[in-house]
Structure 1
C-alpha cells in the first residue's frame, strides 16, 4: 500500500540532499553561467517526470534564455507573458497543473503538460526565473514548490 507520509518524507529528504549538493557545486565558483548550468543539470538529474529544466535571465526588460537541460526553447519571453513572464511580473512562484488551461501559455515543447516557475530575486531585484516543465499533468506538488523555492534561494546567494 502506498504511504503518502513516507513518500513525502523521502521526497523532502531528497530535496534537502540536492540543495546540499548544489551548495557544494557552486560555493567556490563565482561565474553565474557556470553555476546556473550546474544547477539545471543537477535538477534535471534529480527530478523525475520532467522534460525541461532551466533558467531565463532578466535582461533589457525581458526574460532571455539561460542555461537549461531539454529541447531547444523560446529565446525571449516578455514580462507578464506565459507562465515564466507571469511569475517574473508577480515575483512569486507559479505552479500550473495543466498548461493548456493557462491563458497565454507559451508552448516551447508540445510535450509539456504542467509547469512550475520560481522567480529569482536578489537584493530586491528580479534576476531571472527557474522554469521546469513536465510531460505529466499536475506533476508539481506543494513539496516541490517549497523546496524549489529553497533551491533558488540557495542558488541566488551564490550568483
Structure 2
C-alpha cells in the first residue's frame, strides 16, 4: 500500500467517524428536542385547561358589560355636553348679575354722594346760623366787659396790661 492510499483510508475513516459522531449528536439533539416538545405540549395543554375557562368567562363578562360600558360612555358624553351648555348659561347669568350689581352700586354711590353733600351743606348752614349769633353775643360780652373794666378801674384794659408787664420787668 501506498502512502497516499494509507492517508486516504485514514482520512476516510476519520470522516466516517466524524459522520457517526455527528449522527449521534444529532440523535441526542433530536431526542432532547422531542422530550422538550413533549414537556412543552403537556405544559401548554395544562395552561389551556386552566386558561380557557378564564378566557371564556372573561369573554362572556365583556359581552355582558360591553353594552353597559357603551351606555356609560354615551351618558358621560351627554353629561359633558350638558355641563358645557350650563356653564355657558351660568356665565351669561353671572355677567348679567354683575352688570346689575354695577348699576345698583353706581346708583347707591350717587345717592350716598348726594346725601353727604346735602348733610355737608346743612351742617354749614347750621354752623353759620349758630356761629353768627354766638359771635355777636361774644362781641357784646367783650364790649360789656371792657365797659365795666373801664368803669371799675378808670383805665382801658390795654393800659392795665402794660403796667403789669412793666412791673414784671423790674425785679
Does the TM-score normalized on the shorter chain lie above 0.5? Answer: no
| Greater gyration radius | 2
Task: Give 1 or 2: higher strand fraction.
Answer: 1
